[in-house]
């Protein structure tokens, strides 16, 4: 499972408008690794998963951590960055990707909740990829965005 946090530059009114500019989007990406410990930082996101009932549905998370550092990998100094594109249509080449080397740790139960939602909503099997997005209801720096879990 992988987490994408997609942000658009607030110099543009919407994410759709930002998609036509080279400085329009930034994606922070990290893989998820199963851990023995529950991530309290992600519990509000995991708790919102049952509210997703249709593909491409957006769900507002009630209590998103106030600081992005709380949901990023603990070691943020190891990453690579490159110019790339969106992973979904229209696949615009307007994304600055920041990929963290270290994973985000979630418990078995938290990962299981994500899988349950993906399988019930998307009817996917292990060989297919699915995505679920949630809107972040606060700004960070000069960006607005959403969180996507990919399986």
User: pLDDT band at residue 147, thresholds of 50, 70 and 90?
Assistant: low
Residues 6+ apart with CB under 8 A from 70: 41
The count of other CB atoms within 10 Å of the CB of residue 133 is 19
Give the pLDDT of residue 128.
39
DSSP labels for 30-89?
EEEEEESS--TTTHHHHHHGGG--STT-EEE-TT--SSGGGTS-S--S-EEEEEE--SST
Is 142's pLDDT higher than 80? no
pLDDT grade for 61, boundaries at 50, 70 and 90: confident
Q: What does the DSSP 8-state code read for residue 148?
A: E
Start-to-end CA distance of the chain, whole Å, equals 5
Lowest mean pLDDT, pick from 1-10, 26-35, 75-84, 129-138: 129-138
Q: What are phi and psi of 115, to 5 degrees?
A: -60, -40
The 8-class DSSP code of residue 110 comes to H
Tell me, what's the pLDDT at 123? 62
Q: Higher pLDDT residue, 57 or 8?
A: 8
Residue entry with tokens 């607030």:
10
**Of 105 and 151, the one with more pLDDT:** 105
127 has pLDDT over 60: no
pLDDT band for 148, please (50, 70, 90 cuts): low
Q: Report the DSSP beta bridge partners of residue 35.
A: 107
Domains and CATH numbers, the chain: 2-150 (3.10.200.10)
Residue of 68 and 127 predicted with greater confidence = 68
Neighbours of 38 (CB within 10 A): 15
- What is residue 151's predicted lDDT score, i.e. its pLDDT? 46
């Amino acid at each position: 499972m992988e987490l994408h946090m997609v942000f658009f530059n607030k110099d543009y009114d919407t994410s759709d408008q930002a998609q036509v500019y080279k400085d329009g989007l930034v994606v922070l990406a990290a893989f998820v690794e199963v851990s023995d410990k529950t991530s309290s930082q992600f519990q509000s996101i995991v708790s919102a998963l049952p509210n997703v009932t249709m593909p491409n549905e957006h769900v507002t998370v009630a209590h998103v951590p106030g600081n992005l550092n709380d949901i990023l990998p603990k070691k943020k100094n190891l990453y690579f960055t490159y110019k790339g594109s969106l992973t979904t249509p229209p696949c615009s080449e307007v994304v600055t990707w920041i990929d963290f080397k270290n994973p985000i740790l979630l418990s078995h139960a938290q990962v299981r909740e994500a899988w349950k939602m993906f399988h019930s909503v998307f009817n996917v099997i292990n060989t297919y990829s699915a995505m679920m997005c949630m809107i972040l209801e606060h700004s960070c720096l000069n960006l607005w965005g959403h969180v996507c879990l990919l399986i």
